[in-house]
């Protein structure tokens, strides 16, 4: 006589393959530093056509975003783009720390990006060493909406420390990097924002909505690309649907 033994059934076996892949992706993403990509839906940053570039089509919060500001004309554009993102982060009671050694940000301009400038604390320090220390210290504090740090250099070790700090505290860090070289580091995304001609308001002459050419040079597990994006009436909208997709340069690091 044969006795039918009941084997425990692997739940994966009963699902279609695509489901399994999605589930595995959800397990892998947090390990890669995308903790906020899943869950925590109260805060969402809508970057219009840029969204699909990120895993799960969500702008990663609680991560380090590095912005290269080494080229002329990028600093003002980057400040504009970063403050626009921060404006959505500050919708709740959050406070932003802006840490730099030679700051020229003019707070009244921030209200054009729907930010209460009095909820930003500007930390003005003397040198880069102090800025690096302060940025790391600030990123460890839970409850901040974001930390912006203007640095001269972000090497691999420093970026790794910052990334580890934010993975714990879930604070989003924006590092404006003035380094001439684009060296490898551990930040989750690397951006470059350049100026672009403004978009006229109702076809009137004069300066219109601010517009930027945004290059997402690197994004872990996502698709880098280049877009033109404008800040119109409190939200982002990409002006051209034409999207240049960069082939991501993968470096195997074991």
Partner 1 sequence: MKKRFVCVWFHHLEADWFAMRKPALKMAPFVLAAKDHGRMVITAANALAEEQGIKKGMVVANARMILPALEVLDHFPELNDKLLNKLAEWCIRFSPCVAIDAPDALIFDASGCAHLWGGEIDYLTTIITRLNDRGYQVRVGMADTIGAAWAIARYGQSSPVIEPGMQSSALLSLPPASLRIEQELVERLYKLGLHQIKDFISMPRSALQRRFGQPFLQRLNQALGMEQEFIQPVQPIEAWQERLPCLEPIVTLTGIEIALEQLLNSLCKRLEQEQKGIRTLHLHCHRIDDAIITVSIGTNRPSRNLKHLFKLFENKLQTIEPALGIELFVLDAVKVEDHTAVQEKLWEKQGGLHDTQLAELLDRFTDRFGRNCFHRYLPDEHYWPERSIKASQSLEESITTAWRTDQPRPIHLFPNPQPIEVTAPIPDYPPMFFRFKGQLHKIIKADGPERIEQEWWITEGQHRDYYCVEDEAGQRFWLFRAGHYDAAKTYGWYLHGLFA
**What is the contact surface with partner 1 in residues (CB under 8 A)?**
73, 75-77, 79-81, 83, 92-95, 97, 104-113, 116-126, 130, 133-134, 137-138, 141-144, 195-198, 205-208, 210-212, 231
Sort strands 189-199 and 144-151 into parallel, antiparallel or unpaired.
unpaired
The residue among 119 and 242 lying less far from partner 1, judged by its C-beta, is 119
CA dihedral 181, 186, 191, 192 (to 10 degrees): -10
Which secondary-structure segment (H or E) carries 249? none
Give least dist CB 91 to partner 1, A: 12
CA distance 222 to 25: 12
- Nearer to partner 1 by Cβ, of 97 and 186: the residue is 97
State the nearest-atom distance from the C-beta of 203 to partner 1, in Å.
Answer: 13
CA 245 to chain centre: 18
Residue 145's contacts (CB-CB under 8 Å, 6 or more residues apart) are: 86, 89, 90, 92, 94, 95, 96, 171, 172
Q: Name the minimum Å distance from CB 80 to partner 1.
A: 2
Q: For residues 171 and 148, give the distance between their C-alpha atoms in angstroms, rounded to a whole number.
A: 11
Alpha-carbon distances, residue 138 vs 22, 41, 166, 233 (angstroms): 34, 24, 10, 31
Closer of 156 and 197 to partner 1 (Cβ): 197
Residue number, 185 or 226, with CB nearest to partner 1: 226
Looking at the Cβ atoms of 147 and 219, the one nearer to partner 1 is 147
Q: How far is the CB of 198 from partner 1 (least distance, A)?
A: 6
């Amino acid at each position: 006589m044969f006795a039918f033994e009941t084997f425990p059934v692997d739940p994966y076996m009963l699902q279609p393959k695509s489901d399994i892949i999605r589930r595995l992706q959800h397990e892998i993403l947090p390990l890669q530093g995308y903790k906020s990509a899943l869950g925590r839906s109260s805060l969402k940053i809508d970057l219009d056509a840029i969204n699909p570039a990120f895993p799960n089509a969500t702008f990663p919060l609680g991560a380090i975003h590095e912005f290269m500001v080494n080229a002329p004309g990028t600093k003002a554009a980057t400040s504009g783009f970063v403050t626009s993102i921060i404006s959505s982060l500050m919708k709740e009671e959050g406070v932003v720390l802006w840490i730099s050694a030679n700051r020229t940000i003019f707070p009244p301009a921030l209200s054009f990006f729907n930010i209460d400038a009095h909820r930003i604390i500007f930390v003005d320090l003397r040198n880069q060493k102090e800025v690096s220390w302060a940025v790391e210290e600030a990123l460890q504090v839970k409850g901040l909406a974001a930390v912006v740090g203007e640095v001269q250099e972000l090497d691999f070790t420093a970026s790794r420390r910052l990334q580890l700090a934010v993975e714990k505290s879930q604070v989003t860090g924006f590092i404006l990097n003035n380094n001439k070289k684009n060296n490898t580091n551990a930040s989750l995304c690397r951006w470059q924002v350049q100026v672009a001609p403004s978009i006229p308001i109702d076809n009137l002459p004069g300066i219109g909505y601010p517009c930027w050419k945004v290059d997402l040079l690197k994004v872990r597990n996502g698709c880098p690309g280049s877009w033109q994006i404008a800040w119109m009436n409190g939200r982002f909208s990409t002006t051209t649907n034409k999207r240049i997709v960069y082939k991501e340069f993968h470096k195997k690091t074991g």
